[in-house]
Structure 1
């Protein structure tokens, strides 16, 4: 990690619009209104899945359930309660309000302990993420980016009058409530599309009585990795070389990495013909999905991929769509036991039965499937576009709030008429005095 600028210098750059504040507001560093508590390095030997308290790691901060439990001793100061503000300090630098039951604060997650009567806690929570995003964009790293508690402490957050803070929070919550309702409806529609897609694929193959195992459908090949030590196998390579991370879509036209022709006879990788089916046989992603793709060009694959070039009695798309509709069943029935990384057993996959019919029928089934799924694709795109617009609107609302433009002139006048109203500059002096008195 290398953060070459302080948080105030990042603001002064003027390249992060979300950090602009109203002219009559002040700024206050986090350390004057809260304390950053770092998590504890709990022993991984006592991590388990059966007993103990939820152990809150970076990956868990948005989830009500954690991947691991901790069964050892702990100090009460590291107990996290529902609603506590947490920040992941590696990777993407995200803030959340812990949604689960009591848990333990693990290392590289910090908690913001609020300790001021002159700053609205919910307003602070709304402010945090834009500043973390700006710091993240200014942090260089070779691998994973890291955030320090010192940097968090030094963030100069917006300081509007306290009455105005509360009014802004109330208005944001009203706007976000309506927005969240719309987003929820869109995500339900996405889930319904998934169900509909599966129904389309299931119905398409109903009524076919004859089945053949995949091993009889064509020629099978595996792959391999040319030696990384031999530059001639990789430098200026033109041949697409497929690993599990390349199998993300229905068709593979190109890959991230390429090899040279000389690498093929000198390694265990092989030429795979165009229109072959590619299967990911070993990858952590097999916990969730079984990736399958069609090679749309001649290519090579690594050792984690199995391929089959179908014979003339089969349509590649027909077999692809049947397997896609049954990927969950394949993943569970063909998984290899006793391995540390999720794997598919090649013999079980080759024994998997595929419904057999004439090529004419296969082409008709593919046409019907793709016609229906193309409608799904259009609806899915519309949903994704709407979700992106909703996210942009959320950011616009926050930007206006921090610029002091979310409240109307009438609403601001109401704030100023409140008996507890005092200017941001007076409030800043109160906070500094409060901080001084606690020393």
Structure 2
């Protein structure tokens, strides 16, 4: 049994440079594309995800390998520029760029032992404290080599690795099950909406492929008093302004979300570009990320072009209409009618022509109640899953902390 902050017998604190060789990567010149081919995997920070790594989409040729730094299998890679501390364990001979430091295993230290060390709170905290740079965090090789690690005897290292992998295997299975449940909830939500707009949530006798009695097909233009989009340009920003310039990415689950990077404008700009919005206004993103929605609730905002707005008529339940725009029905339609290869755009004409199944206003209210009853249960389950995933990550860090305090084996 170990005391707090005290290592077990035969363990000792060492600096990386005392027990390991550290190598910083390089990038062969891309001015000569013959440096690249199919011979040696070439890793960059996005390829490191705290797991085993082998193949990558970017490879070096044998010529390029002579201009790179090649490391053998069982080498640990750690990002030291930008997003610090991402790790990878090399399964075969590989090269890597200058944003990564490699730690080579030897007879004193097992590769997997240092791999899990590099993911531990102690290691990553030291890495963060060693960082320099204002815009981009950097830990140079000299500083990186000063990181201290608890070194166990070789046989204990192997036992620790085995125990970590046993526990992580169980943990990963649990995480996989949680993520599967998340996907199932997403499918369930869409199933609820599909049945809702087929009339099946409130009418069990609906025939497949037919609308219930009293329903009709109509277009968005027939249920709205006004439909338009935002400013096709850039307003004059004012960091001291009291009004916000929002776009489609500010629409989140029925609400307008003001983010840290949301630009502000003055009252003059607001008066120049404001739209005729009211308590029956619905926003839908129609440029870039499609189908995000929000209601207008007297927020001090002007719109950019990626946000479409429309005011539904008095005899229309705005919640019913918003749910249609969050359903797979609109997703499929937007994919079909969107223009643009890189950035997708749904025109206002297409928005006006979008067909919706419309029951009586009383039925709309009932359907909204049924949808919200079911989705509220799904939301609670989603919250529970998210909390469990957070706890799983905390448990992973706890396992690593105990492992390198000598409390796991």
Partner of 1:276: 281
- Equivalent of residue 7 in structure 2, options 6, 22, 43: 22
Cα displacement string for residues 255-302 of structure 1 (whole angstroms, at most 9, x for unaligned residues) = 544433222234x4546434522222333xx3xx64222233333222
The structure with the largest helix share of the pair is 1
Larger relative contact order (CA 8 Å, sep ≥ 6): 1
- Equivalent of residue 117 in structure 2, options 112, 115, 127: 127
Matches for 1:353-432 after TM superposition, within 5 Å: 353-407=355-409
- Across the two proteins, how many residue pairs are aligned to each other? 375
Partner of 2:46: 59
The answer to whether the 8 A contact 1:240-1:255 is kept is no
The answer to whether the 8 A contact 1:334-1:344 is kept is yes
Q: 1:118 aligned to 2:127? A: no
The answer to whether the 8 A contact 1:243-1:305 is kept is yes
Matches for 1:285-296 after TM superposition, within 5 Å: 286=289, 290-296=291-297
Q: How far, CA to CA, are the matches of 1:271 and 1:68 in structure 2?
A: 50
Residues 53 and 402 from structure 1, CA distance in 2 versus in 1: closer, same or farther, beyond 3 angstroms? closer
Please give the TM-score of this superposition, normalised by the length of structure 1.
Answer: 0.73
The answer to whether the 8 A contact 1:220-1:308 is kept is yes
Partner of 1:349: 351
Cα displacement string for residues 389-415 of structure 1 (whole angstroms, at most 9, x for unaligned residues) = 2222221121112222222xxxxxxxx
Matches for 1:68-83 after TM superposition, within 5 Å: 69=58, 74-75=64-65, 77=68
Q: How far, CA to CA, are the matches of 1:99 and 1:363 in structure 2?
A: 58
- Equivalent of residue 262 in structure 1, options 254, 263, 268: 268
Q: How far, CA to CA, are the matches of 1:162 and 1:60 in structure 2?
A: 29
The answer to whether the 8 A contact 2:25-2:102 is kept is no
Q: What is the SS of the residue equivalent to 1:273?
A: coil
Residues 139 and 118 from structure 1, CA distance in 2 versus in 1: closer, same or farther, beyond 3 angstroms? closer
Judge which range, 114-123 or 68-77, deviates more. Answer: 68-77
Matches for 1:5-44 after TM superposition, within 5 Å: 22=7, 24=9, 25-31=11-17, 32-40=19-27, 43=30
- Equivalent of residue 235 in structure 2, options 201, 211, 226: 226
CA RMSD of aligned residues (A): 3.6
Residues 351 and 133 from structure 1, CA distance in 2 versus in 1: closer, same or farther, beyond 3 angstroms? farther
